[in-house]
Amino acid sequence: MIDTSKSKSDEQQKAEIIIGDCVEEYLACPLKRNERIVLTEGVHIVPDLYSEQDRIVGEIFAHIGSLKIGQQHKISQDILKMLLLEKTKGIKYRKMLVIVDDKMEEYLKGKSFIAESIRQFGIEIKKIDLLDETYEAVLNAQRRQVMVNEFDMRKYSEK
């Protein structure tokens, strides 16, 4: 599993809590957050949103704007995670990708193999509209992360 904790800012983590709360309200059921689910011996997943009782599994993407290749890979991995849960449990789940941005929605509903996978495997895309304050906080955090990543790349390229 990829460790995404280093790439998430406090603002993005706070936004994910707000987004999770919105999804609970939308679905009218409680969802566990970051629950460790054992699939087979030695194999587990940790989805952002989960309800065994209501058979729901979801992943949150608190990202704004165009996706970089690593973010596209994360979406692919999260799709595989949800499909593996269904396969190993032998149960049909309501699978959700929860997003906050129009560009991301266009990409996930567009003409890519990821978008086609979403359609073919019946994965629901739910867009949550963040309050302006939260939206701006996430956007500013992403800008800071780009600056830090660019600085790190310059540090390594100077050698």
DSSP letters for 4-65? -GGG--HHHHHHHHHHHHHHHHHHTS--EES--EEEETTEEE--SEEETTTTEEEEEE---S
Residue 59: inside a domain = yes
Q: What is the pLDDT of residue 8?
A: 62
Tell whether 2 is covered by a domain.
Answer: no
What is the rounded distance in angstroms from the CA atom of residue 60 to the CA atom of residue 140? Answer: 19
CATH of the domain at 64: 3.40.1350.10
- Domain containing 93 equals 7-157
Tell me the whole-structure pTM to 2 decimals.
Answer: 0.81
pLDDT of residue 107: 94
C-alpha–C-alpha distance, residues 17 and 37, integer Å: 20
Q: Give me the number of domains the chain comprises.
A: 1
Does the residue 1 lie in any domain? no
Average pLDDT estimate for 9-30? 90
* Assigned domain for 124 exists: yes
Q: Is residue 110 part of a domain?
A: yes
The number of residues making up the chain comes to: 159
Q: Supply the pLDDT for residue 106.
A: 94
